[in-house]
Amino acid sequence: MLYKDLLQQIVSKINGKIALSFSYQAEDVVALHLLSQCKIDSFEVFTLDTGKLFDECEKLHEETEKFFKLPIKRYFPKKEDVENLEKKLGTWGMRDNLENRHLCCHIRKVEPLECALKGKSAWVTGLRAAQSITRNELKIVEFDEKFNIFKINPLAFWSNEELFGYIKEHNLPLNPLYSKGFKSIGCKPCTRAVKEDEDIRAGRWWWENQEHKECGLHINEK
Ligand code: SF4
């Protein structure tokens, strides 16, 4: 079965609003392309604007809106919380320890995500099991108890070759950071380019252990 047909079958069973999270990765563009071919009334595409994004992500934001002819809605962290966070951590304090990093991710990502998912019945993501050891139990459909929502991961079992082959075949917009050595895209202070033989997520929070490399958005626990 084609992935878009599989996704169509899944979303047809959803009662209520569907949202797709867009975090400027190749996976999100492909998931959006699959979802945009499904016969559904409407869906929302959203991004978490942490205030720490690369300029290249802004470029992709614009290109993607034009390509798909739809808006990508931005959800922001609370201004007051960001001010307090910056007073406490300074510019680079999120790298000092896990507690600081989790606090920053919570304020800039997790809380805005809670707002984005409010009132939605299903959340479509571009997650892939191959991205990280923290994702090796990923399923195509799962219930996210933390955010109390059905989570649909149509690319759960896609390989890198399938992902970039699909982008090329359909001439989809791609984040320019991939051609600068990035294999995974995140916030500017916490993401770096990697070497050819390094792991996909090696450039994310590279100062931490592998098993800590999540920002709290995709940890299915309360
Ligand atoms: S990825 Fe880094 S900058 Fe972005 S929210 Fe998390 S700690 Fe903050």
Whether residue 105 has its Cβ less than 6 Å from ligand 1: yes
Distance 187 CA to ligand 1 centre (A): 6
Q: How confident is the model at residue 136 (pLDDT cuts 50, 70, 90)?
A: confident
199, pLDDT greater than 80:
yes
- DSSP secondary structure, 22-84, as one string: --SSHHHHHHHHHHHTS--S--EEEEE--S---HHHHHHHHHHHHHHTS-EEEE---HHHHHH
Place of tokens 């949202």: 19
C-beta atoms surrounding 161 within 10 Å: 8
- Tens digit of each residue's pLDDT (9 = 90 or more) over 43-85: 999 999 999 999 999 999 999 999 999 999 999 999 999 999 9
**pLDDT over 90 at 143, yes or no:** yes
215 is catalytic: yes
Ligand 1 centroid, distance to 217 Cα (angstroms): 12
pLDDT at 22: 98
Average pLDDT, integer, range 170-199: 95
Does ligand 1 come within 6 angstroms of the Cβ of 109? Answer: yes
CATH number of 16-212: 3.40.50.620
Whether the CB of 204 sits within 6 Å of ligand 1: no
Higher pLDDT, 64 or 211: 64
Predicted TM-score (pTM) of the model is 0.93
DSSP code, position 96: T
Catalytic residue among 38, 57, 105, 215: 215
pLDDT of residue 201: 86
SS3 161: helix
104 lines ligand 1 (CB under 6 A): yes
Q: How confident is the model at residue 219, as a pLDDT?
A: 65
Strand partners, 144: 149
4 pLDDT more than 90: no
Q: What confidence tens digit (pLDDT) does each residue in 22-39 have? A: 999 999 999 999 999 999
Sketch the domain layout of the chain as residue ranges.
Answer: 16-212
Query: How close are the terminal C-alpha atoms of the chain, in Å?
Result: 34
Burial of 40 (0-12, 13-18, 19+ CB in 10 A): middle
